[in-house]
């Protein structure tokens, strides 16, 4: 992957929403690069700023949101770009796959028309040619009898098929970047793999870079090249999939891995190790590391100074923890052992 | 919709197994639910009957509404089913003519008010914020204008032809439609497919016309139907007060008004147009009721 052209550069992106209770700082400085053909997984729990980050990249945040920092697509600055320029990039160069295929298709039009609409929004082609392209895309997405199915309405498709229609729409204009915002969350586990395969097909066919937003670490492990872990609006760890899974250097990442049910090296009687507590309010973040209140390793300076995102095991593996060096070789059950015992009685 | 599922599955049982279970299309569901509303179906048949009678029957009937026959003030008979007035006008011909005018006026009002109200409400609800505030305050203003006073001033100042009456009423009625449409659009604009369309680079106007309005069509149709009934009554009221359609043309309201002094002596002049007004207003209201139920997907009960 290295050596390929960088298509998307996000630098110190910040997003905040003014509310009646004060300023909600949803994203507090996210930076990442995306190279052509690469898959970047963004993981984190609800409210960690994953979706807001990508909505900011697309320029789809409501007008009240305050966006700072820089997003460059092939060198063009997108933050503050005129609406007309953004429209040509949206759907054309950067496409998006939404979470819920039940609601992201318009119920009153046949799916073929909706894909054709995407084609025609960015290409000067006839309606017939656009429809032809729609059928072609449906076929690529393994929709059986695509020509007939193109005339069917969204409610005549299953959830997995609908999501494949959405993916077909996203790849309609041969984009350079596909942002998939929790594409499998609303689906049954059985069709998740199918949809992930469809996403991979779309990515390979367009040679696009992909941002895969999810809170499912299993999905990321199987699909992504690199992983960005977010917590309370900030990236807390960034590295290759192997770095993140085998050598996490941030207690939060370690906790996430520990709380994941695994079929491979599980032993009988193993309990999942939860991370106690819940994420902090983004309204009034305390100084220091936002994870500190839940962190079993916290020490005094964790509550006063927020750690920088610094190189950890290798130069490309970054972690935001004062004690990332101490985590080398530690397993989730070692670090979170105390809390798991506390909760053993009430655990599932 | 659960009671449709069983039927839907039965319908698909002879299809290839690879196909997902087919649900009914939206149009089928709407039609099915409408047909279940018996009052609405009967009303629709009756309403279509009245329209045919007025437009086809009016052209075929042996008298024209302006004809003056040699038999003034006769009660209903085989020759004059609804009798005649003191000048010898055939009341049946006049009622048919009045029905034509009233229906034409009502449909024109519904069309104009529906169109303007839909666009106004859709743009207002879609853009929200300051645009919404300004547009909706204007709607509030229109809603405060007293219909009779405005109509009195405007129709007196002009010739009072039927389409002008319709125009005046429409200019005051669209605001009701705009309010309803805005409300619907406010919730529609948050739907993910709107967001998805924006993520595809669609312009606001494209989204409004292609995604927002088609999805708001259910409530719009229902409101416009109810507007038709209201428009018939408003036109009747205006004509009754002498502010609507002017003689020699006639409408149902005008006929009732002219016969107002003759209720006790020649009741047929009053009651026949009156019955037509009631029948038209009632049937359209029931049709609107049936449409509202048909377009409401949460409606499952079988209506009497």
Binned at pLDDT 50, 70 and 90, residue B44 comes out as: very high
Which residues of chain B lie closer than 8 angstroms to A105, CB-CB?
193, 196
d(CA A7, CA A75): 8
Q: What is the 3-state secondary structure (H, E, C) of A291-311?
A: CHHHCCCCCHHHHCCCCCCEE
- Interface check for A158 against chain B (CB to CB < 8 A): the answer is yes
For residues A319 and A243, the answer to whether their CB atoms sit within 8 Å is no
* Across B143-158, average pLDDT: 80
Residue ranges, chain A, pLDDT below 50? 1, 339-348
> Which residue of A lies nearest to B203 if distances are taken between CA atoms?
A87
Q: What Rg, from alpha-carbon coordinates, does chain A have?
A: 21
B25: pLDDT strictly greater than 70: no
Residue pairs between chains A and B whose CB atoms are closer than 8 Å? 77
> Do B201 and A107 count as a contact with CB atoms less than 8 A apart?
no
- Interface check for A100 against chain B (CB to CB < 8 A): the answer is yes
Q: What per-residue confidence (pLDDT) applies to A268?
A: 62
> Do A60 and B198 count as a contact with CB atoms less than 8 A apart?
yes
d(CA B202, CA B206): 6
- Interface check for A162 against chain B (CB to CB < 8 A): the answer is no
How far does the CA of residue B133 sit from the closest CA of chain A (Å)?
17
Of the candidates A100, A122, A153, which has its C-beta nearest B201's C-beta?
A122
> Which residue of B lies nearest to A178 if distances are taken between CA atoms?
B199
Of the candidates B191, B193, B201, which has its C-beta nearest A92's C-beta?
B201
Binned at pLDDT 50, 70 and 90, residue B298 comes out as: low
Q: What per-residue confidence (pLDDT) applies to A100?
A: 83
How far does the CA of residue A169 sit from the closest CA of chain B (Å)?
9
d(CA B214, CA A153): 14
Mutation site for A-interface testing, chosen from B1, B199, B297 by largest number of A Cβ within 10 Å: B199
Q: What per-residue confidence (pLDDT) applies to B24?
A: 55
B110: left (phi over 0), alpha (psi -120 to 50) or beta: alpha
* Across B45-67, average pLDDT: 82
Q: What per-residue confidence (pLDDT) applies to A266?
A: 60
> Do A104 and B196 count as a contact with CB atoms less than 8 A apart?
yes
- Interface check for B195 against chain A (CB to CB < 8 A): the answer is yes
Sorted by sequence, the CB contacts under 8 Å of residue A145 that are 6+ apart come out as: none
- Interface check for A164 against chain B (CB to CB < 8 A): the answer is no
Q: Which long-range contacts (CB under 8 A, 24 or more apart) does B268-275 make?
A: B268/B75, B268/B76, B268/B82, B268/B83, B268/B91, B269/B83, B269/B85, B269/B91, B272/B82, B272/B83, B272/B91, B272/B92, B272/B95, B273/B94, B273/B95, B273/B98
Which residues of chain A lie closer than 8 angstroms to B211, CB-CB?
106
> Do B199 and A100 count as a contact with CB atoms less than 8 A apart?
no
Mutation site for A-interface testing, chosen from B21, B200, B204, B220 by largest number of A Cβ within 10 Å: B200
Q: A99-132: buried (b, 16+ CB within 10 Å) or exposed (e) per residue?
A: bbbbbbbbebbbbbbbbbbbbbbbeeeeeeebbb
B16: pLDDT strictly greater than 60: no
- Interface check for B282 against chain A (CB to CB < 8 A): the answer is no
Would you say the pTM of this structure is higher than 0.80?
no
Q: A12-36: buried (b, 16+ CB within 10 Å) or exposed (e) per residue?
A: ebbbbbeeeeeebbbbbebbbebbb
> Which residue of A lies nearest to B27 if distances are taken between CA atoms?
A108
How far does the CA of residue A338 sit from the closest CA of chain B (Å)?
43
> Which residue of B lies nearest to A105 if distances are taken between CA atoms?
B193
Of the candidates A91, A100, A122, which has its C-beta nearest B199's C-beta?
A91
How far does the CA of residue A55 sit from the closest CA of chain B (Å)?
9
Q: What per-residue confidence (pLDDT) applies to A269?
A: 64
pLDDT tens, position by position, B241-287: 877 777 777 888 788 877 777 777 777 777 888 888 888 888 888 88
Which residues of chain B lie closer than 8 angstroms to A87, CB-CB?
201-203
- Interface check for B203 against chain A (CB to CB < 8 A): the answer is yes
The tokens of A330 are what? 């530690």
Which residues of chain B lie closer than 8 angstroms to A161, CB-CB?
20
Strands A226-231 and A39-43: parallel
Phi, psi of B67, rounded to the nearest 5 degrees: -60, 140
Q: How far from A167 is each of A12, A212, B37, B148, CA to CA, in Å?
A: 29, 13, 41, 57
In DSSP terms, A212 is beta-bridged to A41, A180
How far does the CA of residue B130 sit from the closest CA of chain A (Å)?
13
Binned at pLDDT 50, 70 and 90, residue B1 comes out as: very low
Give the CB-side neighbour count of residue B22, counting CA atoms within 13 A.
18
Sorted by sequence, the CB contacts under 8 Å of residue B75 that are 6+ apart come out as: B83, B266, B268
Question: Measured at the alpha carbon of residue A277, what is the angle toward residues A271 and A281, in degrees to the nearest 5?
Answer: 150
Strands A318-319 and A310-311: antiparallel
d(CA A34, CA A11): 11
How far does the CA of residue B250 sit from the closest CA of chain A (Å)?
43
- Interface check for B20 against chain A (CB to CB < 8 A): the answer is yes
- Interface check for A137 against chain B (CB to CB < 8 A): the answer is no
More confident residue, B77 or A34: A34
- A212's enclosing H/E stretch is strand A209-214
- Interface check for B190 against chain A (CB to CB < 8 A): the answer is no
> Do B192 and A98 count as a contact with CB atoms less than 8 A apart?
yes
Q: What per-residue confidence (pLDDT) applies to B237?
A: 83
Binned at pLDDT 50, 70 and 90, residue B153 comes out as: confident
What is the four-CA torsion angle of A339, A340, A341, A346, rounded to 10 degrees? 110
pLDDT tens, position by position, A293-319: 888 888 888 888 888 888 888 888 998
- What percent of chain B clears pLDDT 70, i.e. is strictly above it? 87
More confident residue, B61 or A238: A238
Of the candidates B129, B200, B211, which has its C-beta nearest A90's C-beta?
B200
> Which residue of A lies nearest to B204 if distances are taken between CA atoms?
A87
Q: How far is CA B204 from the centre of its chain?
A: 30
Which residues of chain B lie closer than 8 angstroms to A109, CB-CB?
214
To which residue do tokens 């729990």 refer?
Answer: A45
The tokens of B262 are what? 């003759």
Sorted by sequence, the CB contacts under 8 Å of residue B186 that are 6+ apart come out as: B125, B128
């Amino acid at each position: 992957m290295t050596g390929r052209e960088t298509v998307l550069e996000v630098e110190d992106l910040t997003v905040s929403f003014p509310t009646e209770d004060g300023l909600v700082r949803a994203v507090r400085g996210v930076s990442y690069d995306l190279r052509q053909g690469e898959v970047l997984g963004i993981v984190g729990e609800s409210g960690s700023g994953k979706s807001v980050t990508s909505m900011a990249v697309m320029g789809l945040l409501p007008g009240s949101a305050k966006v700072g920092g820089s997003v460059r697509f092939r060198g063009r600055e997108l933050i503050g770009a005129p609406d007309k320029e953004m429209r040509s990039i949206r759907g054309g160069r950067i496409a998006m796959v939404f979470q819920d295929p039940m609601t992201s298709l318009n119920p009153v039009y046949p799916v073929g028309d909706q894909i054709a609409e995407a084609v025609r929004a960015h290409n000067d082609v006839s309606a017939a040619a656009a429809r032809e392209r729609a059928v072609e895309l449906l076929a690529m997405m393994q929709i059986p009898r695509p020509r007939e199915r193109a005339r069917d309405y969204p409610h005549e498709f299953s959830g997995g098929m609908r999501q494949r229609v959405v993916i077909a729409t996203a790849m309609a204009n041969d984009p350079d970047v596909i942002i998939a915002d929790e594409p499998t969350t609303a689906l049954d586990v059985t069709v998740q793999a199918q949809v992930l395969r469809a996403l991979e097909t779309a990515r390979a066919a367009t040679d696009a870079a992909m941002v895969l937003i999810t809170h499912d670490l299993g999905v990321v492990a199987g699909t992504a090249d690199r992983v960005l872990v977010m917590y309370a609006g900030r990236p807390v760890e960034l590295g290759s999939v192997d770095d993140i899974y085998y050598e996490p250097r941030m207690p939060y990442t370690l906790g996430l891995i520990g709380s994941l049910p695994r079929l491979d090296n599980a032993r009988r009687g193993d309990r999942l190790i939860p991370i106690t507590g819940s994420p902090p309010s983004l309204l009034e973040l305390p100084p220091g590391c936002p994870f500190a209140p839940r962190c079993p390793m916290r020490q005094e300076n964790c509550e006063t100074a927020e750690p920088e995102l610094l190189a950890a095991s290798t130069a490309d593996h970054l972690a935001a923890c004062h004690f990332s060096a101490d985590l080398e070789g530690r397993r989730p059950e070692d670090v979170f052992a105390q809390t798991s015992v506390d909760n053993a009685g009430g655990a599932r | 919709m659960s009671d449709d599922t069983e039927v839907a599955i039965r319908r698909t049982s002879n299809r290839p197994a690879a196909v997902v279970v087919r649900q009914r299309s939206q149009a089928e569901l709407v039609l099915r639910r409408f047909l279940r509303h018996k009052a609405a179906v009967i009303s629709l048949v009756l309403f279509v009957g009245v329209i045919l009678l007025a437009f086809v029957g009016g052209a075929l009937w042996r008298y024209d509404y302006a004809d003056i026959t040699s038999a003034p003030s006769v009660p209903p008979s085989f020759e004059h089913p609804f009798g005649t007035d003191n000048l010898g006008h055939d009341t049946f011909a006049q009622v048919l003519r009045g029905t034509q005018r009233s229906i034409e006026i009502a449909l024109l009002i519904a069309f104009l008010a529906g169109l303007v109200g839909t666009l106004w409400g859709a743009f207002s609800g879609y853009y929200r914020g300051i645009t919404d505030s300004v547009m909706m305050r204007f709607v509030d203003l229109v809603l405060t204008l007293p219909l009779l006073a405005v109509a009195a001033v405007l129709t007196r100042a002009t010739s009072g032809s039927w389409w002008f009456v319709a125009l005046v009423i429409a200019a005051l009625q669209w605001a009701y439609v705009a309010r309803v449409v805005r409300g619907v659009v406010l919730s529609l604009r948050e739907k993910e497919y709107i967001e998805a369309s924006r993520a595809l680079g669609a312009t606001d106007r494209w989204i409004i016309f292609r995604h927002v309005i088609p999805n708001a069509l259910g409530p719009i149709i229902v409101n416009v139907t109810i507007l038709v009934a209201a428009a018939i009554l408003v036109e009747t009221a205006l004509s009754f007060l002498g502010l609507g359609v002017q003689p020699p043309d006639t409408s149902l309201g005008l006929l009732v008004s002219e016969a107002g002094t003759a209720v006790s002596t020649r009741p047929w002049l009053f009651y026949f147009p009156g019955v037509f007004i009631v029948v038209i207003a009632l049937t359209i209201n029931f049709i609107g009721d049936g449409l509202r139920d048909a377009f409401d997907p949460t409606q499952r009960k079988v209506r009497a």
